[in-house]
Structure 1
Amino acid sequence: MDATDEMYLMVDSDLLVRLMQRTGTGSKVTVRELAEAAGVHPSTIGFLRTGAQRTAPRHTALAIASRLGVDSLVLWAPVGRSVPAPDGEAVAV
């Protein structure tokens, strides 16, 4: 698996919701705006917000963190030996 296949696990879906209310610049970001910035469908952001989806590919995770104005490790943990993927979720795209 190379870095482009790497998956990231969201540490706290409630934190995503809070960060969307007040980004690093102090502004609010909508589900649609965040989805557009990350290059995903808005339902993906909705699933991440509710915890129905807990992993995302590296490029998506980094784009979400960047748009929110936080370091990626504030919101995500790379899936690997020390951070296993949740049961039932794929580890590669």
Structure 2
Amino acid sequence: MFIETNKLNLEVNMPPRDALYLLPERDLLIRLMQRTGTGQRVTVRELAERAEIAVGTVGNLVSGAQNCVTPATAHAVSQAIGVDLPILFIPVGRSAPAPAGGIAPLPEQAAV
């Protein structure tokens, strides 16, 4: 892992990672699996196959053992069920680290 350090040997920058998507209501996923966008029922295994993801990932989402996934997985699950992404998932976290010096003020807030 690449980490830059300052003179105090503190971590100040890490390589960017993908933001995650949160499944806030696993019960909604379960209900949508019982009646997908096409009106058909889909099992954990079938959803995993359609979304081209691991069966364990779908099983973990359904059981509540996992509630965050990568953007690719969130898109694949939503598409396989036949609903828009925001119906099931909420983006959380940062896709890039915060600037080492903090966030610059907006132009109207800058000192005159």
Q: TM-score range by the shorter chain?
A: 0.7 to 0.9
**Could you tell me whether the CA contact under 8 Å between 2:33 and 2:41 is conserved in 1?**
yes
* Deviation of 1:38 (Å): 2.2
Residue 30 of structure 1, CA deviation:
1.3
Partner residue in 2 for 1:58:
71
Runs (5+) with no aligned partner, structure 2: 1-15, 95-112
- Structure ranking higher in helix proportion: 1
Counterpart Cα distance in 2 of 1:48 and 1:70:
16
Report the Cα distance in structure 2 between the residues aligned to 1:38 and 1:7, rounded to whole angstroms: 17
Corresponding position of 1:84? none
TM-score by length of 2: 0.65
2:87 corresponds, among 70, 74, 83, to 74
TM-score, scaled to structure 1 = 0.78
User: Number of aligned pairs?
Assistant: 79
* Superposed CA RMSD: 1.4
| 1:10 pairs with 2:10 | no
Q: What's 2:40 paired with?
A: 27
Secondary structure of the 1:78 match is: strand
Is 2:63 aligned against 1:39? no
How far does residue 6 in structure 1 lie from its aligned partner after superposition? 2.3
Q: Mind listing any 5+ residue stretches in structure 1 that lack a counterpart?
A: 82-93
Q: Which has the higher contact order (CA 8 A, sep 6+)?
A: 1
Displaced runs of 4 or more, over 4 A: none
